Amino acid sequence: MIVAVLLAFAYGIIGWPQQWSKQGLLESVQKRISLGLDLKGGTHLVLQVMVDDAVNTETDRAVERLKDQLKTANINYAQILKPDPTSHPELIQVKGVSPDASGDFKRVVQDGLPDYDPTLGAENSWTLTLKPTAETELKNRAVAQAIQTISTRINELGVTEPTVQEQGLGQYQILVQLPGVYDLARVKDVIQSTAMLEIRQALDGSRSYASQQDALNAHQGMLPPDAVLLPGRPAPGDQGEGQVWWVISRTAAVSGSDLRRAMAGTDESGRPEVNFELTADGGKRFARFTGAHVNDSLAIVLDGKVIEVARIDEQIHDTGRIKGAFTQQQVNDLVMVLNSGALPASIHYLDQETVGASLGAESIREGVTAAIVGMAAVLVFMLVYYKGAGINADLALILNLVILLGFLGYSSATLTLPGIAGVILTVGMGVDSNVLIFERIREELRNGKAPGSAVDQGFQHAWVTIVDTHVTTIVSAAILFLFGTGPVRGFAVTLTFGLLANLFTAVFVSRTIFDAILNRKQRGEAISI
């Protein structure tokens, strides 16, 4: 059984190398054991979440709700505006409310917008202020949503054990660390893309304009009230390349919130495209829109840019596709971003760098050197101090290390510098377990017990203490794993599995070796310990 465990976990470390040479073995080990950012290098980012964007979005919605509520309550007003959306996005101002309607206005605000405090000012002007508690909660929620969205996008990149957490050194900041990822530009594109998908009507059909002025001239200098000018790509078959301008409806038929899922696909010519499905409600609205606009054109708008304009030949229900001059990687990234949802607020990069592999190699060399020197010192000490029994301890410690590293290879857990500390701590506790057992055996021998009986009593007496110390440490490591992230989790993983391996090696393996030695000795013959 011991040999089988040794071979199984040795395979976990090495696998099946492509070449049975030193370089081939090293490459195989590097493939199986993932290294953290502190060892392998990678991408390090600190992001500032612009939480005022979330407040602006909330007050924009509140303005729309307030308009509907005042209309329903038949309360007249002159204007609703946000006096300073840049510096004070939490403020809404309502001008021209009749003094006779002040009581009704206040009641409408208190019932419909309970997070706002209404204050009457000069000239029948009301100022609605978002309550500080609601504003703080909104900002904190924006950071939490940003972490969730970024984590989802990063996970789609296939990064092993990324760190995405709130940065404790600054307010509303997020720390992102991606071990082994060096394409900083791609990471930023994936993280920062808001992927706001909208399907709107292209009011001038498939006609685009080379400039905004050309579009205005075509409409006698003024666009219709429900139209906006958006930049985008030329329609297929149009002359020229680069950015053009489209006249697009101001409101969207469906948007990203109606998206059920997006998938990568290919068109009739084999070019990459994005296919999407809408929710039931979004599909009904899309069907109504396309049914009412057969032979018109629709525009797929992504982050305020027209990606595609197509003619509606027939009613479309709950599916669609986004074509363009995409590469396969761009399609995969767009699918990932669409499926992860939009960020609740824009972000700003405070720090961005890639940690070089040289730092990781140096860290690995120092960590491995420390582990080897420490391990060798322990092995020598056990041989000198416990003589023949020291061989038991040394074999148990070596097997413990093999099991631990093999577990890292099988589980794809990431080895970090704190993880190496966990390995060294595990070795120390393995030594402690062996010392505990051996001293008990020596004590039994000094009391006159026969070698077989002394070994049996030694293991029995030490067992309870070993289990007690290991269980309490494993519980502590489990708490670190649950509440920690990144390297802290790496430390908890190596420590936990190292201790479980230690229970197996220090007790079962060591006892098996003792039994094998006793079986080869004459009855009453002394053992070396």
Q: Can you tell me the distance from the alpha carbon of 326 to that of 331, in angstroms, rounded to the nearest whole number?
A: 6
HSE toward the beta carbon, residue 167, CA cutoff 13 A: 19
Calculate helix-pair angle for 388-411, 2-14, nearest 10 degrees: 50
- In this prediction, residue 245 carries a pLDDT of 92
- In this prediction, residue 342 carries a pLDDT of 67
Split the chain (529 residues) into runs of 10 and give each run's mean pLDDT: 80 78 77 74 86 84 83 88 86 89 89 90 88 92 86 76 74 85 81 72 87 88 84 68 84 75 82 83 83 85 80 80 74 73 77 66 70 82 85 85 84 76 82 87 85 85 85 87 74 85 84 84 73
Q: Can you tell me the distance from the alpha carbon of 296 to that of 247, in angstroms, rounded to the nearest whole number?
A: 13
CA angle 391, 397, 400 (to 5 degrees): 140
**Strand ranges inside 239-304, DSSP E:** 244-249, 254-255, 259-266, 272-278, 297-302
DSSP one-letter code for 416? -
**Which residues make beta-bridge pairs with 163?**
177
CA angle 423, 424, 425 (to 5 degrees): 90
Supply the pTM of this predicted model: 0.55
- In this prediction, residue 132 carries a pLDDT of 93
- In this prediction, residue 136 carries a pLDDT of 92
- In this prediction, residue 267 carries a pLDDT of 79
DSSP one-letter code for 503? H
- Positive/negative CA dihedral, 133, 139, 140, 145: positive
152 Cα distance to chain centroid: 5
- In this prediction, residue 485 carries a pLDDT of 65
User: Tokens 């399907």 map to which residue?
Assistant: 199
